[in-house]
Amino acid sequence: MAVEVHIEAEQPRTSDAELVARTLAGDPSGFTALVERYERSLYTLAVRTLRDREEARDATQEAFVKAYRSLHTFRPDAKFSTWIFSICYHACCDRLKRSRRYSGEEIPDRADAGPGPEAQAIANDDAGRLRAAIDALPEKYRSVITLYHLQGKQYDEIASVLGVPLGTIKTHIFRAKEQLRQILAASEREP
């Protein structure tokens, strides 16, 4: 089944590589277009990883600034979305480490406390319920399922972003989906 991913970067008019080349040649419109193209997806990755809108805002900005400063190191044969998602994900991890909420690979395989009353109130439709269910996943599954949403079924790209083996990504996606199903089912049963 072909999954239709809602991301502006999927059908770009100008390729990312061309926009990067334009930026490196001194044309600021190249990077402006890249910001317009990836702002929402990077913010989504940050907000779902960090579960804090203020922190996510800062992490998104930090990712773009880092990308801009190290744009000359970007290999033209690489995929820009993977590169910038990776920068953003690591910025989020740094923030989680700083706030002592991050526990690396040893995150327990249990769901977090789940959404609060405010989040539950807005989770009255499928999208809201799904978003709340993703928020309730453990950190490692939240990131992987968000990238699965943003990048489609490109497991190798997700593995590159997160810096973990392909097999681990497949396992994490399988388990994340299992937990999503359980959380969604539980939320449906609730009055």
Partner 1 sequence: MNDRTDDELDRLLAALPLDEPPAGLRASILAATVQRVPAEPIDPWEASAWGLLLALALWLVPHLSAINGVIATIARTSFTLTQPTTLIWLTVGVTAAFAASAIPDFSAGINLARKGR
Question: In the numeric block, which tokens belong to residue 107?
Answer: 């995150």
Q: Dihedral through CA 168, CA 107, CA 49, CA 17, nearest 10? A: -30
Token output for 140? 């490692």
For partner 1 (CB under 8 A), the number of binding residues is 41
Per CB under 8 A, the list member of 50, 84, 123, 145 interacting with partner 1 is 145
CB of 183 to partner 1, least distance (A): 10
Q: What's the token pair of residue 96?
A: 């989680």
> Residue 127 and residue 120: Cα distance in Å, rounded?
12
Which residue in the set 6, 97, 98, 101 belongs to the binding site for partner 1 (CB under 8 A)? 6
Q: Rule CB under 8 A: is residue 105 a binding residue for partner 1?
A: no
The enclosing H or E element of 145 equals helix 139-151
Judged by CB, which is closer to partner 1: 65, or 104?
A: 65
Verify binding: residue 65, partner 1, rule CB under 8 A: yes
Sign of CA dihedral 11, 12, 18, 19: negative
Minimum distance, C-beta of residue 134 to partner 1, in the bound complex (Å): 8
Could you give the dihedral angle defined by the CA atoms of residues 156, 36, 16 and 168, in that order, rounded to the nearest 10 degrees?
Answer: -10
For residue 40, the minimal CB distance to partner 1 (Å) is 4
Please state, in angstroms and rounded to a whole number, the distance separating the CA atoms of residues 159 and 168: 8
Q: Is 122 in the site for partner 1 (CB under 8 A)?
A: no
**Contact call for residue 53 and partner 1 (CB under 8 A):** yes
Instruction: List residues binding partner 1 (CB under 8 A).
Output: 1, 3-7, 23, 28, 31-32, 35-36, 39-41, 43-44, 47-48, 53, 57, 60-61, 64-65, 68, 126-127, 130-131, 145, 148-150, 177, 180-181, 184-185, 187-188
